[in-house]
Structures are given as structure tokens and as C-alpha cells.
Structure 1
Amino acid sequence: MERRTLLRGAALAIPAAGLVAGASVAMADVSATANYRIIVTEQTQNKIMVFYKDQAFTDANAYKTFSPGGGGWHNLSDVRIRDTASFGAIGLAAASGGKVGIWDITSEKHQELNDLLWSASPGGNPHAIERIPDIGAIVAASSGGYLTVYGPTAVSKPSTLAKVQTVNLPGAHGVLWDPTKKWLWAIGDKVLKAYTVTGTYRNTRLKDTGKKVTLSGMGHDLQPDYSNSGKLLITDTYGVYEVDKSALTKKQISETTRVKAYVRHSSGEDFWVRGDNKEPRPWGTPTVNFSDSPHRTRSGAKFYKARWYTTAWN
């Protein structure tokens, strides 16, 4: 497929860093990141939405949206943006209703199910999805207790992805590719683990490195520290932690419970989503919290995940 480089670059360009399709986002001076964009999963309307941090989270201010519909796509549980050589920027999404998939980010402001490049049903309440670069493999984390690996016959053809491996991980909630270590991190019940990736295409396999960090509770979110490539940020039942990737140690930075998403921007600002314990969907909340900026509340919303709208890995 021919790349629409200019459209992709325009669609994802952010004050912090301009996107060149087919290349990773380069970090710029943090003074340019004051009004960076946030991408969220909103479960009331079941949409993935992008907003400028410094604007109200209203329909009129939505920079982009993706609405995959209902059925297996209900209760959107994860989203992230990655860069590819063939398509430019793509979106990865997981839904607790059972589906995971990839959609093609175009210049269109409001996107729907027909923009999907690929989808699958790994089962077990999918909570996260990640792409392994160069290989093009996809890994989904399902809270039913496993990781599912999908391998393609060609990196440039997501439609060729098929299940090639299932890896047991009780309570699997998060996955993250680490370009520095060349590991895939995964978080589950009382553990954060690192896996190597062997093989290519349909022969792609995860192998447990034996390296892990023990947690006290059920692991929830797993994100890079965009201000420090040597660290990860994770959440579990009992709080929020910084993880030193080399020493495999953790430091608790908050005792706040029910944190479903926690991100540190390259500027050092943190933002997070905490379940409000209110029906319906007590795991969600109408508010995205910021450490150095006004919190953003969308009336009637139930946010579950919030991410920095960037293709950067760390």
C-alpha cells in the first residue's frame, strides 16, 4: 500500500514533536510541550478521543475520534499510537468486550470501524495491546490470564496477522515494547515480567527472561517514563510505582488506589485516571487529572485509559 506521508504527518503533528511517517517522533525542547495532546478511551460513548490538554474536553474541541461500535468493541480498555513504514501512524485498541485491533489514522477527523486494518478476538477481557516493530507482531494482554501473540506473513500487511502463541500470565493487564532493552514488558497479578522476542513473522515467539519485579497486588497500568528512558511507570491495587529497568527495583510514588492509567510526559508532568467507584462502570471516571495543570472533566464520561498522543516508545 502506498503511504500517505503528508496526511499522516499532518494528522499526528503535535507541538512537542513533528511526526515524519515511517520514523519515530523526535523529542523537542520541553517548552514546546505545554499544550500536548491526550488520547483517551471513553466508555460511555465508547469512543477513543483526542484532546489538547489545555482545552476543555468537549465535542467541539475533539481533535480526532475513533468509534469502533459495540459488540466485541464495547468498553474500550486501551489505546496507543505507533509508527509504521507502510501506513505511517496507526492506532492500537483493545476492548474488554473481546476485541483488539489496528486502525489506520488518516486526515479524517472522525473515524469508524471501516478504518480498521485488522482485528481479532483473543478472549479473556483484553486490557492492552502492543506492536513489536520491524517484526510487525501484535501482543494482547487479557485479564483471563494470558498474552496472545499474533504474527504476520509480511510486516506491511496487518491483514495477514494470525495467532501464533499464547503465554500464561495470570491477571495480564498491560504490555509495552522497550526499544532500549529490546524486551516486551508485561504486567499481571503481583508481577511485572520481561520477555525477549525471537523469530520473525509467523515464527515470532515470546520467551520469559526470568527478569521480574514482584508487586503486592494486581498490576493494572504499564507505561514508559517519557522523561527518563531508564524507568517504567506502573500501577497496582495499592498505588503507583517507578520501576528501574536495569536494577529491577520499584519505588512507590503514590498510595492512591484504583489508578487505571498513569503517564509521565517528557516535560515531567504526570497525568492519570482513577476509577471513581460510581455506577455505571465504577472503574471509570469523567476526569483526567494533571499534576501541573487544571484537571479536565467531561460530563457523563467514563474514561478508563489516558495516554500521550505520540508514537514515541519512551
Structure 2
Amino acid sequence: MELKDVQAAGIHYVELAWRNEEFDLTNPGNLQRCSAIVDQVNELGLEVWSIHLPYGPEWDVSNTDVESREAAVARHSQLLRHASKWNIHTAVLHPSWEPISSAERKERLYSCKQGLSKLAEVAAELDIRLAVECLPRTCLGNTSAEILQLLEADERLVVCCDVNHLLQEAPENFIRQVGSRIHTVHMSDHDGVDERHFYPGEGRISWNHVIAALAEIGYQGPFLFEVRPVDAYRLSACWKQLLQAFKDEQSSRHEHERCIAVTDQQAKQIIILDPEAENWADSANVWTWAPEGDKGFETLLSAWGLPTDAKLRWNSVSGSHSMIVSDSAGLAAIVAYPQGDKQWGLNVGGNPHSVELLPDGNLAVAASHGNWVRVYLSSLGADAVDYAEFPLAGAHGVQWDPQHELLWAVGDDDLVALEIAGTSEKPIIREARRTTLPTSSGHDLQPVYGNPDRLWVSTGRHVYQYIKSKNEFDETYADHEFISRANVKSVGNMPSGLVVTTVPDQLVRAETGCSFNDWCTDTVDLSPAKRKAVLPGSAIYKARVWCAGYN
């Protein structure tokens, strides 16, 4: 590939880089070659956005031998001076070489910060932003927490987010944690095992989530690919496809977010309704669903009849929206939305009350009679039956937390945060936190949209907002007087702030409400409007904000 192809493909920025073993500072031919490349880039109207400093044992600024570390700093400093002459204002640096054992990690981190401090000073004098790159495996900077620790060396340091290197946490989580310190990026895909530098879409990364996170933090730099093999026209096409997929997902998401889904146990359906309709009895239905034999559910129809949960989620396996559902008769399923076809489904038993689709495509299920939370390996295929299990008495609700990469679950007496470790093929569920509920009979668990630090939690007596950072329950949130009541079966809020709740009619309006059973209602309460939306003849167990986002 030649630089004229880069220009013709509509690419505007490039990074000057080389293999570490090929660059010899004592060879003036190498510097002349770099100068010629920079001149050609400028002549074509392109821009050298960044220089990628060499890496390897001789360039390792985390070396615990002071003399070796200072020699590495000197080499990097010399290249930074050349970059300044070439009018390059961003330099990407690998904070270490590898392998690094756990026994030496603390010392290597300390040494690296010493080296980074000196290089940050040199870079600042040259008007260059020094970007510390996140790295894979045992290298330093393999998590957001460790990158932030390295940045403590100097406030002028920034970050190069290489999503292909992020094997221990989701790239979107890294991006949100590091935030505005991300100054540049390297974009390619991995296989979930190791870095691969695949073209985006060929591996396991959820690219819509990555782009959304970059937009959230206000990233202003270029979308720099670091893929193999390099083909300028293929890169340009890949970027256009990624951007269009993101726009389509965002457009679709905004269309859905104004709706409410209800689990109607009388009609045995999931019904999506327009909350702005004046009368739900008159054409308020946006969409309805129940399992059908010709949609792949022919062997599962007996596991449906009392639907207990329905959520809209982005499915990383299908690359599209899916609805996830549960039913007291035993069904847990992933359904193509809006097509209605089965993507995964199983009679899991145990009276499942809540479901959550994890970022890797596996489905978490909470069963109140089974007293468990399971993660089913739905990412492996439509009929996968294997699962990992965590015991939780009276398990009623599950909710994924992308910021902390935890699965929250509520049971009879406890709210627990679960770490999903291992792999998609062999997940391991570990308890990360357990908090006793203020009152017993935990029931619903939903995000407080607009505040990722909070969760809605309903119990047999009240509705609370749980504050994750403080590990405490708030009873005095806005409009709590109307929202917090006994036996609230479902609670959630739209991004606009509208709060949606359901309470059994036999408890609050036995004379006029739903008589199908003693845990359903024909009315959805809307706050702060204090409006009651009625679906005549229905038996609504839960009402869900039809929003694909986790929070």
C-alpha cells in the first residue's frame, strides 16, 4: 500500500511507526527515511497525527535497573525531539515490555512512573502529548485501574486506548473509566483470547458500545486503525460500515425508548404500548409478541403462560436488537426484535422472574423458586443448555452494570453484585458484594436511567434507590411519596425521567381492578405526572421501560 492510496481512500490521518528491531538511532538513513515519509504525507494533504515510539527490552521505561531505564528514557527523548522537528504533536509509548510476574509488578510500576515522569517533562517542552498505551497480557497498563495509576506520574500524560489490547475488561468500560485522558486510539479486533489486530467486526468487540463510549467522553481525535493486513480502501469501507451501524442502532434505540412494555398474563403476551396515548384501550399497541411454533418455539409452548419479564437489549451475537423474556412456567428466551423469532430458548424451571443479556451474548436468569441466578451459555447457539449457577434465596431480579462489569441480583433479603469471570464458554460466577435489604422480600431491580450510580430496588414494603458508590439505600429520592409503596412488582424510569410502576390491584383497587390473580394489575402508574394508564381486561405483572441501554 502506498500513501497515495491512503489519500484516495479518503483517510486523513496516519501514524509514523516501525518495528522496534528495525530502528537504529545511530543510522542516519533511518531518520532520513522518516523525514521523507513525513514530507510525502504533507505533500498529499494528510497529517501525521502521532508517532509510535519503539518498544522492546532496550526501550522499556519500566526497567528496574536505573542505568537501563535512563538509557531507554534517553532513546525515547531523542526520538521525541525528531518528532518535534517533523511537527508531530502526539507520541504513543508502551509503558513496559513483558513478561512481568506478579511478584515484580509493584516494583515495575514504580520504575515505570519514574521513567514516565521524565519523559512527560521532555514531551511538554517539545509541545508533544505523551500517550501511554494500554497493553495486553502481563504488560503494565492492562486495565483502566493500572493505566490511571501510571498517569499519576504526571498530570500532563494522556492515554492511547488500544481496544485490541483490552482482554481483562470491556473496551467501553475502559473508555468510560479513563474518560477525557484518552487522547488517541488504536482500533482493531481480538478473539477474546489475545490481541489479533483483526479488522473491526471480525472479532469479539462490541463496536457500537465502543463508539458510544467514545462519544460519551467527548473524544475528539481520529479513529486510527491498527490492523493487519493494511488496505486503505478496506479501512475506509470498514469505518463507513461501523459509523452507519452505530447511527442505525442509535436511531432505532431512540425510537424504542419512548415506549413501555407490559407482561400481560391474561393475554399471555408481551405488549408494547405508547405511554403518550390518551387511552390504552384505543390503538395504543405498538407491538405484541407470544411464542409461536413457526418462530422456533414449537417445543417450548408449554413453558409459556405467565410472562414475568421483558427487556430490550443489543445482542452482540446477532449484531441487532433482541427482546429477552422470562415466564413463571419456565421459559427463558432471547427473541429477535421485532421479527419475533427464537434466537435462544429453554425451559429452565424454577419460576424465572427476571432475565438479563450480558455483553458477550450469554443470558442471566433469576429464579425465585429455584433460589438461583444462572448464566446460560446462549452465545454458543440457539439450543445451548449449559450454565453456571450462583445460589440466591428468592432470586427475583438481575441487572448488568457496564461501568463496574458486575451483574447485580436481588433476592429475598440481599442485594448482591456478581463478577462474571472465566470465559463466555466457561463462565464463573463470584460474589463481589452483598448488602442486606432495608426491608425483606426483594422483588424488582432496574437501572435509574440518567444516574449510573443508582439502581431501583423494590421490596415487600418500599421502593428504594440503591447508591452503589456509598453502598446505601436512599428513601427520599424525588417523588418517593408517590412511587414508594408496598408490593411494587416493577419500577423503572425513562431517560426523560418518567417513572413507571405496577402494584397488584387486589392490594389497592380490589373492587374495580384486575381480578385474574392477586399479583397483577390493569393499571400502570406514571410519575411525576401521577397519571394512571389503564389497559382494560389485562393482567399486567410488570411494566418495563423499552430501552436497550443498561443504564
TM-score range, shorter chain: 0.7 to 0.9
Residue 197 of structure 1 is matched in structure 2 by 420
Asked whether the equivalents of residues 260 and 275 of structure 2 are also in contact (C-alpha less than 8 Å), the reply is yes
- How many angstroms apart in 2 are the aligned matches of 1:79 and 1:285? 17
Matched, 1:273 2:273: no
Residue 357 of structure 2 is matched in structure 1 by 131
* Cα displacement (A) at 1:140: 0.6
Asked whether the equivalents of residues 439 and 462 of structure 2 are also in contact (C-alpha less than 8 Å), the reply is no
* Cα displacement (A) at 1:87: 4.0
TM-score, normalised by the number of residues in structure 1: 0.83
Matched, 1:148 2:371: no
- How many angstroms apart in 2 are the aligned matches of 1:194 and 1:287? 32
Q: What does residue range 276-295 of structure 1 map to in structure 2 within 5 Å?
A: 276-277=505-506, 278=510, 279-293=515-529, 294-295=531-532
* Cα displacement (A) at 1:200: 1.6
Instruction: Report the number of matched residues.
Output: 281
- From 274, 289, 296, the equivalent of 1:66 is 289
Q: What does residue range 88-237 of structure 1 map to in structure 2 within 5 Å?
A: 88-106=320-338, 111=340, 115-133=341-359, 135-144=360-369, 145-152=371-378, 155=379, 158-159=381-382, 161-237=384-460
* Cα displacement (A) at 1:97: 0.8
Give the AA of the match of 2:534.
T
- How many angstroms apart in 2 are the aligned matches of 1:46 and 1:291? 27
- How many angstroms apart in 2 are the aligned matches of 1:197 and 1:136? 13
Residue 303 of structure 1 is matched in structure 2 by 540
- How many angstroms apart in 1 are the aligned matches of 2:313 and 2:375? 17
3-state SS of paired residue (2:404): coil
- From 24, 32, 43, the equivalent of 2:265 is 43
Residue 310 of structure 2 is matched in structure 1 by 79
- How many angstroms apart in 2 are the aligned matches of 1:42 and 1:23? 33
* Cα displacement (A) at 1:21: 5.5
3-state SS of paired residue (2:303): helix
Asked whether the equivalents of residues 366 and 396 of structure 2 are also in contact (C-alpha less than 8 Å), the reply is yes
The runs of at least 4 consecutive aligned structure 1 residues that moved more than 6 Å come to 22-25
Give the AA of the match of 1:305.
K
- How many angstroms apart in 2 are the aligned matches of 1:285 and 1:260? 10
**CA 1:180/1:167 → structure 2, altered by over 3 Å: closer, same or farther?**
same
3-state SS of paired residue (1:299): coil
**CA 1:37/1:138 → structure 2, altered by over 3 Å: closer, same or farther?**
same
Structure showing the higher helix proportion among its residues: 2
3-state SS of paired residue (2:313): strand
- How many angstroms apart in 2 are the aligned matches of 1:96 and 1:184? 22
**CA 1:270/1:241 → structure 2, altered by over 3 Å: closer, same or farther?**
same
Give the AA of the match of 1:82.
R
Asked whether the equivalents of residues 24 and 83 of structure 1 are also in contact (C-alpha less than 8 Å), the reply is no
Asked whether the equivalents of residues 266 and 516 of structure 2 are also in contact (C-alpha less than 8 Å), the reply is no
Give the AA of the match of 1:194.
A
Residue 246 of structure 1 is matched in structure 2 by 469
3-state SS of paired residue (1:161): coil
- How many angstroms apart in 1 are the aligned matches of 2:381 and 2:528? 39
* Cα displacement (A) at 1:165: 1.6
Asked whether the equivalents of residues 281 and 534 of structure 2 are also in contact (C-alpha less than 8 Å), the reply is no
* Cα displacement (A) at 1:168: 0.7
- How many angstroms apart in 2 are the aligned matches of 1:261 and 1:196? 25
- How many angstroms apart in 1 are the aligned matches of 2:399 and 2:249? 17
**CA 1:269/1:237 → structure 2, altered by over 3 Å: closer, same or farther?**
same
* Cα displacement (A) at 1:213: 4.2
Residue deviations 1:95-136 (CA, integer Å, cap 9, x gap): 001111011113x5xx4xxx1111112211100011110x22
- How many angstroms apart in 2 are the aligned matches of 1:201 and 1:94? 21
**Percent of aligned positions that are identical:** 28
- How many angstroms apart in 2 are the aligned matches of 1:222 and 1:24? 29
CA RMSD of aligned residues (A): 2.4
- How many angstroms apart in 2 are the aligned matches of 1:164 and 1:46? 27
3-state SS of paired residue (1:90): strand
Give the AA of the match of 1:53.
P
- How many angstroms apart in 2 are the aligned matches of 1:230 and 1:21? 29
Structure showing the higher strand proportion among its residues: 1
Asked whether the equivalents of residues 174 and 220 of structure 1 are also in contact (C-alpha less than 8 Å), the reply is yes
Deviates more, 1:241-250 or 1:287-296: 287-296
- How many angstroms apart in 2 are the aligned matches of 1:76 and 1:118? 17
Higher RCO (CA-CA < 8 Å; seq separation 6+): 1
* Cα displacement (A) at 1:71: 2.2
Asked whether the equivalents of residues 500 and 545 of structure 2 are also in contact (C-alpha less than 8 Å), the reply is no
Structure 2 unpaired stretches of 5+:
1-243, 293-300
